[in-house]
Amino acid sequence: SQQGEEDPQALSIQEGENATMNCSYKTSINNLQWYRQNSGRGLVHLILIRSNEREKHSGRLRVTLDTSKKSSSLLITASRAADTASYFCATGRYNQGGKLIFGQGTELSVKP
Amino acid sequence: EPEVTQTPSHQVTQMGQEVILRCVPISNHLYFYWYRQILGQKVEFLVSFYNNEISEKSEIFDDQFSVERPDGSNFTLKIRSTKLEDSAMYFCASSFPGQGNTGELFFGEGSRLTVL
């Protein structure tokens, strides 16, 4: 089954605006992580939220997790052109060898 | 800051040839992974490796694939007989085991494999 489906698939905003990306998943999880990928580059970890947490902040990032709806959102406030990248959610479950299941990603474009 | 390094950055090979992709994980990490990303698509889990053996593998990771940690620093992915559909970006990652052995992954910059 698919796990970690993001929407929208693509998002275009102006610098200074907020960007919200959503992720849904199907099976139970122990944590959900968000990663960023600049074009042609590796993935960079942004934030991890555990299944018993509802909200987490890191700088301009705010992540929420609703396990009853099996969904998460990533909010980037006061976006910058340098935030232009693809953003992926990834779900993890205990004792599965550390593997993460990634979603399709949201391609964010921030115009100066 | 410690990082995961991968070589080569790009490899072009003929269908049916063997390919070895190399990775140097972060030194104190204990879990090692290979993921792949076909152009424009999502990142797919291939295999995780812990304590010198495969911990988890996906359906993609069939008998054509193998992993090895030949020494204390390198982690390799071998594709025995490449197919056209193996063309993708291959990412190595490593992690220090977190709670329940799941935590933040540190990724390399990837090795782009093109099979002709």
- pLDDT recorded at residue A108: 97
* Over residues A69-96, mean pLDDT: 94
**CB contact B99 to A (< 8 Å):** yes
Distance CA A84, CA A68 (A): 31
Q: Pick from B94, B98, B101, B102: which is nearest to B74 by CA?
A: B94
Report pLDDT digits (tens) over A32-64: 999 999 998 999 999 999 999 999 999 999 999
- pLDDT recorded at residue A81: 97
Give me the percent of chain A exceeding a pLDDT of 70: 96
Give me the percent of chain B exceeding a pLDDT of 70: 97
Mean pLDDT of chain A: 92
- Residues from chain A that touch B61, judged by Cβ atoms under 8 A, are none
In terms of CA atoms, which chain B residue is nearest residue A101? B45
Nearest to B43 among A43, A45, A93 (CB): A43
Residue type for position B114: T
Whether residue B70 has a cis bond before it, omega within 30° of 0: no
Q: How far is CA A9 from CA A23, A87, B82, in A?
A: 10, 10, 31
> Is residue A102 within 8 Å of residue A7, measured between CB atoms?
no
For residue A36, give both structure tokens.
Answer: 């960023």
Whether residue A8 has a cis bond before it, omega within 30° of 0: yes
Please provide residue B114's backbone torsions phi and psi, each rounded to the nearest 5 degrees: -120, 120
- pLDDT recorded at residue A97: 80
**CB contact B97 to A (< 8 Å):** yes
Q: Which domains does chain B have, with CATH numbers?
A: 5-97+106-115 (2.60.40.10)
Residue A1 reports pLDDT greater than 60: no
Distance from CA of B21 to the nearest CA of A (A): 15
- Residues from chain B that touch A41, judged by Cβ atoms under 8 A, are 109-110
Q: Which domains does chain A have, with CATH numbers?
A: 5-111 (2.60.40.10)
Q: Which residue has the higher pLDDT, A80 or B42?
A: A80
**CB contact A96 to B (< 8 Å):** yes
Residue A89 — very low, low, confident or very high, per pLDDT cuts 50/70/90? Answer: very high
- pLDDT recorded at residue B100: 63
* Over residues A87-110, mean pLDDT: 91
> Is residue A105 within 8 Å of residue A22, measured between CB atoms?
no
Report pLDDT digits (tens) over B38-90: 988 889 999 999 989 999 999 999 999 999 998 888 999 999 999 999 999 99
- pLDDT recorded at residue B99: 62
